[in-house]
Amino acid sequence: MEPGNVLYIVVCAAGAAGDVGRLVTLAQDDGWAVQIVATPPALDFIDVPALERQTGRPVRSQYRKPYEPRPPRADVIIVAPATYNTINKFAQGIADTYALGLLAEAPGLGIPVVVLPFVNTAFASRDPFRRSVETLRAEGIPVLLGPGRFEPHPPGAGGEILEAYPWALALREIEQHRPR
Ligand SMILES: Cc1cc2nc3c(=O)[nH]c(=O)nc-3n(C[C@H](O)[C@H](O)[C@H](O)COP(=O)(O)O)c2cc1C
């Protein structure tokens, strides 16, 4: 992985996670080298061997052992699909998984992060969630939620909107932060 073009995709346990290979394809077409980082529950939603073949890299969901070599540093990070749980924890600064640990440090390290939620209207209407979105935006982290971006779906209807999930939007947003 050449420094300067390393894209980490943090995948959370939401309906769209099974399609994250679509984002990998789009990113690779744009010249990114992709590292998939899954939250622990997301491992049940994704096809790990298929993603490892596609990226040529192990899917990571745990911190390395102290004696293992450091993986290539992320130049940019996309969180997609981003769950209610991970968005709230990221905004609160919680770092109790490898994925959240990466996100907790990224802003302080100057690594751009873009968040593409996948939440239903019940999650999206909660005050804690709205505050988290505001908190992240106030830190300069784009959360692609709202008209023309990701629109929350009615509870139970996530499966019906998978085709419309705007993976490419996250890629366009992060492209602005590509090191030149
Ligand atoms: C089948 C299924 C679908 C789910 N879909 C979503 C979803 O679309 N959005 C969401 O925020 N949570 C969804 N959840 C709940 C999350 O998986 C759960 O909150 C989990 O703890 C999130 O963990 P993570 O944020 O570490 O990935 C779903 C759970 C299941 C079992």
Q: Which residues contact 33 (CB under 8 A, 6 or more apart)?
A: 1, 2, 5, 6, 7, 55, 72
Q: What is the pTM of this model?
A: 0.97
What pLDDT, on the 0 to 100 scale, is given for residue 90?
Answer: 98
* Cβ of residue 117 lying under 6 Å from some atom of ligand 1: no
| pLDDT classification of 145: cutoffs 50, 70, 90 | very high
Q: Which residues contact 101 (CB under 8 A, 6 or more apart)?
A: 63, 95
What pLDDT, on the 0 to 100 scale, is given for residue 178?
Answer: 77
How far apart CA 73 and CA 2 sit, in angstroms, is 10
SS3 171: helix
Q: With a cut of 90, say whether residue 37 has pLDDT above it.
A: yes
E strands in the chain = 6-11, 33-38, 76-82, 113-117
Q: Whose CA is nearest to atom 16 of ligand 1?
A: 13
Q: Which class would CATH give 6-175?
A: alpha beta
* Each residue's pLDDT tens digit, 164-177: 999 999 999 999 88
Q: With a cut of 90, say whether residue 4 has pLDDT above it.
A: no
* Each residue's pLDDT tens digit, 64-87: 999 998 889 999 999 999 999 999
* Cβ of residue 119 lying under 6 Å from some atom of ligand 1: yes
Q: With a cut of 80, say whether residue 179 has pLDDT above it.
A: no
What pLDDT, on the 0 to 100 scale, is given for residue 132?
Answer: 98
Residue 57 phi, psi dihedral angles, 5° rounding: -135, 150
How far apart CA 118 and CA 19 sit, in angstroms, is 12
Query: Which letter does DSSP use for residue 66 in this model?
Result: T
* Each residue's pLDDT tens digit, 96-141: 999 999 999 999 999 999 999 999 999 999 999 999 999 999 999 9
In this structure, are strands 113-117 and 76-82 parallel, antiparallel, or unpaired? parallel
Going from the Cα of 83 to the center of ligand 1, the distance in angstroms, rounded, reads 6
Residue 48 burial by Cβ neighbours in a 10 Å radius (0-12, 13-18, 19+): middle
